[in-house]
Amino acid sequence: MSSVASLNNVWVNYNGFTALEDVSLSIEEQDFVGIIGPNGGGKSTLLKTMLGLIEPSRGNVEILGMAPRKASRQVGYVAQFQNFDRHFPINVWEVVLMGRLGHAGLLKGYSTQDRDAAREALEKVEMAGCKNRHISQLSGGQQQRVLIARALATRPKLLLLDEPMSNVDSAMQKGFYELLSELNRQMAIVMVSHDISAVSQYVKKVACLNRKLYYHGTGQLTTEDLEATYQCPVELIAHGAPHRVLKDHPR
Q: Does 191 bind other proteins (CB under 8 A)?
A: no
85 versus 224: smaller Cβ distance to other proteins: 85
140 versus 175: smaller Cβ distance to other proteins: 140
Dist CA 83 CA 39 (whole Å): 18
Q: What is the nearest approach in angstroms of other proteins to the Cβ of residue 25?
A: 19
Q: Does 89 bind other proteins (CB under 8 A)?
A: yes
Cα torsion 83, 209, 23, 246 to 10°: value is: -130
Among 45, 143, 144, 154, binds other proteins (CB under 8 A): 154
Q: Which of residues 23-52 bind other proteins (CB under 8 A)?
A: 51-52
Q: Which of residues 101-130 bind other proteins (CB under 8 A)?
A: 101-102, 104, 106-107, 109-110
Q: Does 83 bind other proteins (CB under 8 A)?
A: yes
- Residues in the interface with other proteins (CB under 8 A) total 32
Q: Does 11 bind other proteins (CB under 8 A)?
A: no
Footprint of other proteins on this chain (CB under 8 A)? 51-53, 72-73, 75, 77, 79, 83-85, 87-91, 94-95, 97-102, 104, 106-107, 109-110, 134, 150, 154
